[in-house]
Amino acid sequence: MIPEKAPGGDVLHAPGDLKKEAHIPSFEKYKELYIKSVESPEEFWADVAKDFFWKTKYTGKFLDYNFDVTKGEIYIKCMEGATTNICYNVLDRNVHERKLGDRVAFYWEGNEPGDEKTVTYRELLQQVCKFANVLKSQGVKKGDRVSIYMPMVVELVVAMLACARIGAVHSIVFAGFSSESLCERIMDSQCCLLITADGFYRGDKLINLKLIADEALKKCRDKSFPVEKCIMLKHLTKEDEASSGSLSPPAKRACPDLQVPWNPEVDMCWHSLIGGASEECEPVWCDSEDPLFILYTSGSTGKPKGVLHTVSGYMLYTASTFKMVFDYHSDDVYWCTADIGWITGHSYITYGPLANGATSVLFEGLPTYPDVSRMWEIVDKYHVSKFYTAPTAIRLLMKYGSDPVHKYKRTSLKILGTVGEPINPEAWQWYYNVVGEKRCPVVDTFWQTETGGHVMTPLPAATPMKPGSATFPFFGVVPAILNESGEELEGPSEGYLVFKQPWPGVMRTVYGNHLRFETTYFKKFPGYYVTGDGCRRDKDGYYWITGRIDDMLNVSGHLLSTAEVESALVEHEAVAEAAVVGRPHPVKGESLYCFVTLNDGINYNQKLEAELKKQVREKIGAIATPDYIQNAPGLPKTRSGKIMRRVLRKIACNERDLGDVSTLADSSVIEHLFENRCYTAV
């Protein structure tokens, strides 16, 4: 399946000096290890496991699973019976066994230039132990779920690792989500405590996070799920650094007057609690298959799925993908621009880099604030050598040309990474030529919240690159391409991307709904994990991800389901029906094009349009804000009443070639929709 030899021809290679020091220096080495990893996964992963601390050994099989729904329940287990603690492995092991206590774990760079703080492994461990004791003092125990809704501050890492230390399950909710989305996630995972912050700036915009968190808690209460405890970090309103015991400095852009709602029955201040806490905290030893975290991702039914990852498999997988894909060495400074509220931040800001003892930049701000050179300024400031971002950020910066990039040297850069959506070859070339000056391999990493870590990716010194291709599988991953009938296609082909066997980091279940896990990922093609993405394999065996083939949209690298946006729209009293499709967008990848049918007697006007936009923002969050809303008195439906989205996608793009529309119940709606289509975003 992997070609015998690396292809020649139109491919790009890593520079020689990178190959010399690389963990996997050649395609032959990759191939040799790949074969071992899929033929003897136990041996391969047991080797990786040797680097970690295990309190007790595993008792059964190293990797045990059933991927076939026709043979019984789907399960995946890695090192079951072994006990360990992931927080111990990413902190204590580095400080005590590997003597890395003085190494910088994070260079925190605030939204406002000049707001900065350096945190060593030793300091991080101290803060985590203290906060773990705080959680214990609030009655949080192993297995309890804790919701975290915070900006990109070091305390977010502290909170998640403190949960992991005591075996509590963190459920981080991206701080751009609305109160409704936060409430839904708190209730679904039955969290006993919420950790949040007063507020933060995103560029120029002030976000009163505590206000939104309070609204969420009120919604939970109204739905008979009272959360009795909320810990709030003072990020913008902090008065005195010395007494606060905090890791972030007073923000340059501090906002002491921010009106923070406070309910003394529920609310507690992070700083007062942590001030008196002990620095000693014995980790709680967990089974390999104990839950580590829940992270919600959009589901095609509209209700988000709580993706559950467990301790050991996730640890082994994020640690090894980080090491190999970014070819990590101890003199690197690594920077991933994602938010920890998404899986990229979980795996490649917190767990993967810390497991390797890496030094990372943790950035609170935006690529365009205060100007569009900010990223490259930060690269030079911290001598970043490995840089990981999303195609949408690349396309955004590309718009401003190369001058803002050339203002900074970027000589420290060695490897560039991308994640979140297919990268168009033009953006890839700009990243490679302008940002990396043709010296830095680009690793286009394909993966999902569900996969835990990279599954299809180049290895920077080993894999010849083709711009826009995620190339080949990572160790232990066995991809296949299936046709609609579920047959495996050989050679050059296109179809459904699936995986034939598990790797340690794959999700274990949908929290509280194992049936949904089986139905979503294993039912369509028994025996395979179905990614939901389309994929093409070329004559050289390279894989090219072609995008989602279900009702999901990818807006700026964030997955959204059409159903969740539609249900937010129909909750408005004026709307009878809604259908949402993706329309290609030069920066965001896809934008949201919404068709709405109004209730009888209601007129469409700008006020209503603004209300609908607001409605979606409030129900889901700013990432789901509609770009286009079209008044659609009739929608194209089949005779059985199913909306033909395929046709709506064409209308949104003004493409007249509709293909087969013989199943349409009433074809007259089409012309009307074309005539009234939106040309400008709302």
Binding site for ligand PRX (CB under 6 A): 297, 343-344, 419-422, 444-449, 470, 531-533, 545, 548, 554, 559
Shortest Cβ distance from residue 225 to ligand PRX (Å)? 26
Shortest Cβ distance from residue 25 to ligand PRX (Å)? 23
Q: Which is nearer to ligand PRX, 530 or 596 (CB)?
A: 530
Shortest Cβ distance from residue 303 to ligand PRX (Å)? 16
Q: Which is nearer to ligand PRX, 189 or 418 (CB)?
A: 418
Q: Which is nearer to ligand PRX, 130 or 548 (CB)?
A: 548
Q: Which is nearer to ligand PRX, 213 or 343 (CB)?
A: 343
Residues 6 or more apart from 29 whose CB is under 8 A from it? 462
Q: Which is nearer to ligand PRX, 168 or 324 (CB)?
A: 324
Residues 6 or more apart from 83 whose CB is under 8 A from it? 54, 55, 56, 285, 286, 287, 288
What 3 state SS string does 404-423 have? HHHCCCCCCCCEEEEECCCC
Q: Which is nearer to ligand PRX, 127 or 297 (CB)?
A: 297
Residue 370: is the preceding peptide bond cis (ω within 30°)?
yes
Helix axes 606-619, 179-189, angle to 10 degrees: 30
Q: Which is nearer to ligand PRX, 140 or 390 (CB)?
A: 390
Residue 128 CA from chain centroid, whole number: 23
Q: Which is nearer to ligand PRX, 266 or 394 (CB)?
A: 394
- Rounded CA-CA distance 421/418 in Å is 9
Q: Which is nearer to ligand PRX, 360 or 554 (CB)?
A: 554
Question: Which residues are 69's β-sheet partners?
Answer: none
**Cβ–Cβ under 8 Å, residues 368 and 203:** yes
Q: Which is nearer to ligand PRX, 470 or 581 (CB)?
A: 470
96 phi/psi in degrees, rounded to 5: -90, -50
Q: What angle do CA 416, 419, 423 make, to 5 degrees?
A: 85
Q: Which is nearer to ligand PRX, 509 or 554 (CB)?
A: 554
Q: Among candidates 219, 255, 261, which has minimal Cα distance to 235?
A: 255
Question: Which residues are 643's β-sheet partners?
Answer: 637
- Rounded CA-CA distance 334/95 in Å is 19
User: Would you state the structure tokens that stand for residue 83, as one six-digit string?
Assistant: 């006990």
**Cβ–Cβ under 8 Å, residues 501 and 76:** no
Shortest Cβ distance from residue 171 to ligand PRX (Å)? 15
- Rounded CA-CA distance 614/631 in Å is 16
User: Would you state the structure tokens that stand for residue 616, as one six-digit string?
Assistant: 């979606």
Q: Which is nearer to ligand PRX, 83 or 449 (CB)?
A: 449
Shortest Cβ distance from residue 5 to ligand PRX (Å)? 25
**Cβ–Cβ under 8 Å, residues 157 and 126:** no
**Cβ–Cβ under 8 Å, residues 411 and 379:** no
Shortest Cβ distance from residue 387 to ligand PRX (Å)? 15
Q: Is 22 exposed, middle or buried (0-12, 13-18, 19+ CB in 10 A)?
A: buried
Shortest Cβ distance from residue 263 to ligand PRX (Å)? 33
Nearest residue by C-beta to ligand PRX?
449
Upper half-sphere CA count for residue 39 (Cβ side, 13 Å): 6
Shortest Cβ distance from residue 150 to ligand PRX (Å)? 19
Shortest Cβ distance from residue 33 to ligand PRX (Å)? 22
Shortest Cβ distance from residue 447 to ligand PRX (Å)? 5
Shortest Cβ distance from residue 182 to ligand PRX (Å)? 18
Shortest Cβ distance from residue 547 to ligand PRX (Å)? 6
Residues 6 or more apart from 327 whose CB is under 8 A from it? 18, 21, 22, 23, 24, 386, 414, 415, 459, 460, 461
Shortest Cβ distance from residue 338 to ligand PRX (Å)? 8
Q: Which is nearer to ligand PRX, 445 or 509 (CB)?
A: 445
Q: Which is nearer to ligand PRX, 14 or 419 (CB)?
A: 419
Q: Among candidates 431, 393, 416, 429, which has minimal Cα distance to 557?
A: 393
Q: Is 433 exposed, middle or buried (0-12, 13-18, 19+ CB in 10 A)?
A: exposed
Q: Which is nearer to ligand PRX, 531 or 630 (CB)?
A: 531
Indicate the residue type of 128. V
Shortest Cβ distance from residue 565 to ligand PRX (Å)? 16
User: Would you state the structure tokens that stand for residue 483, as one six-digit string?
Assistant: 């046709």
- Rounded CA-CA distance 372/203 in Å is 12
Shortest Cβ distance from residue 205 to ligand PRX (Å)? 23
Residue 99 CA from chain centroid, whole number: 31
